[in-house]
Structure 1
Amino acid sequence: MLTLYHAPYTRSSSIIQLLIELNALDRVDVRVVDVARQDGRGTADPANLHPEGKVPLLVHDGVMIRERGAIIQYLTELFPSELAPKPGDPTRGAYLGWLAYYGAVIEPVMITTLLGLDHPGLHANFRGKAEMSDALINALSDQPYLLGDRFTAVDLLVSSPFDWMPSFAPTDQVVQDWLARCTDRPAYRAMGSYDAGLMPAAKAG
């Protein structure tokens, strides 16, 4: 049994979009839970099995999978599709690299910048906004998506934070065009409708 602990309009929304892209949303029990949000709304939900009270959390036959990069890799292997290159594919290395780069570099850089933190140790370990921007610009300079000509799960993940912090997105046109392509997808719009329909339930919870 697959169970996803989800709160609408949070990081777990990208997992909802992924499940829609994979035509697998109906194969997952989505449990809507409350979470403590940065604006002060919400609170830790005892119904949420995540040990830190966060989302997303995927539970498969009692086994917990945490962190979006890991959940995305798990789901794309469980439901094979064109969204993830298979082992042996020459783009597999870049695919795994972007999954790790998101959690190891992009989110730390965005959060530390948002908080106004600056220290040589941060740049040495995580790099900065300029390096992050260059990585995206270089990857997209001669191709429409991060791995080439087709949209994959890494495009979904790496583009997702710019939804809630668009001012942080690189202004270079190749990145802006890529972001527009990533959001101009039926699954992206379906995810928005799905979350909107869950809001009354989330408030009641």
Structure 2
Amino acid sequence: MLTLYHAPNSRSTRIVQLIHEMGVSDQVSIQEVTIPRQDGSGAVDTANPHPEGKVPCLVHDGAMIRESDAIMLYLTDHFGDNPLGRSIGAPGRGAYLSWLSWYGNVLEPLIVMQFCELSHPGLQATYRDLATANTRLEEALTTHAYLVDDQISAADILISSTYGWAPQLMPDIPAIRDWATRCLDRPATKAIAEQEKSVA
């Protein structure tokens, strides 16, 4: 049994969107939990098995998977016939893994640093900067309609979710803006976002 521990309007929302996009919502139990919020509301939920009380957290027959990119990879591998993943040996597998990892290893740290107004040569040498990150995105999107190839993948859902919750970060780069719009306007993504407005 697959169970996703989810807090509405959080990083786990993109996992719910992926589940609906994949058409496997009848095969994944979604358990809503509370989490501590940055505005001071919420609290750690004892029903959530995540060791830090965070979301998303996926549990499959007792095995726990944490972090959005790992969960997306796990789900797309588990439901291997789904086009939102790229199977081992497929031409786009390397790009797919790279973009999933790039989100958590590069883009999200850059976003957090921007929000916290942190700047240091060591940080820039390690993570580059948002301008460089935008260049990487633009380069990929001048070759294909989506990051891996011409078909949307979970990597697109993960990375474009940034502009869903922080639209002010959208760069004025047509290729990125158009791609993000294509991703965020998909029926499953819009439906879950609309559904969660009622619990905001």
TM range (shorter): over 0.9
Compute the displacement of 1:107 (Å). 0.3
Tell me how far apart the structure 1 counterparts of residues 171 and 142 of structure 2 sit (CA, whole Å).
Answer: 13
- Local SS of the residue matching 2:113: helix
**In the alignment, what sits opposite 1:167?**
168
- Local SS of the residue matching 2:26: helix
Q: TM-score, normalised by structure 2?
A: 0.95
Compute the displacement of 1:18 (Å). 0.7
Is 2:182 aligned against 1:181?
A: yes
- Local SS of the residue matching 2:104: helix
Contact kept, 8 Å, 2:160 with 2:180, in 1: the verdict is: yes
Compute the displacement of 1:116 (Å). 0.4
Name stretches of at least 5 consecutive residues in structure 2 with no aligned partner.
none
Deviation per CA, 1:63-105: give whole Å up to 9, x if none.
1000011000000011121111111111110000001100000
Contact kept, 8 Å, 2:76 with 2:85, in 1: the verdict is: yes
Residue identity opposite 1:35 in structure 2: I
**In the alignment, what sits opposite 2:130?**
129
**In the alignment, what sits opposite 2:20?**
20
Tell me how far apart the structure 2 counterparts of residues 109 and 32 of structure 1 sit (CA, whole Å).
Answer: 29
Mapping 1:76-87, distance limit 5 Å: 76-80=76-80, 81-87=82-88
Compute the displacement of 1:195 (Å). 2.7
Tell me how far apart the structure 2 counterparts of residues 116 and 131 of structure 1 sit (CA, whole Å).
Answer: 17
- Local SS of the residue matching 1:25: coil
CA RMSD between the two structures: 1.3
Contact kept, 8 Å, 2:65 with 2:71, in 1: the verdict is: yes
**In the alignment, what sits opposite 2:53?**
53
Compute the displacement of 1:133 (Å). 0.8
Structure 1: 4+ residue segments shifted above 4 A: none
Compute the displacement of 1:127 (Å). 1.1
**In the alignment, what sits opposite 2:148?**
147
Mapping 1:110-125, distance limit 5 Å: 110-125=111-126
Residue identity opposite 2:167 in structure 1: P
- Of all paired residues, the percent bearing the same amino acid is 47
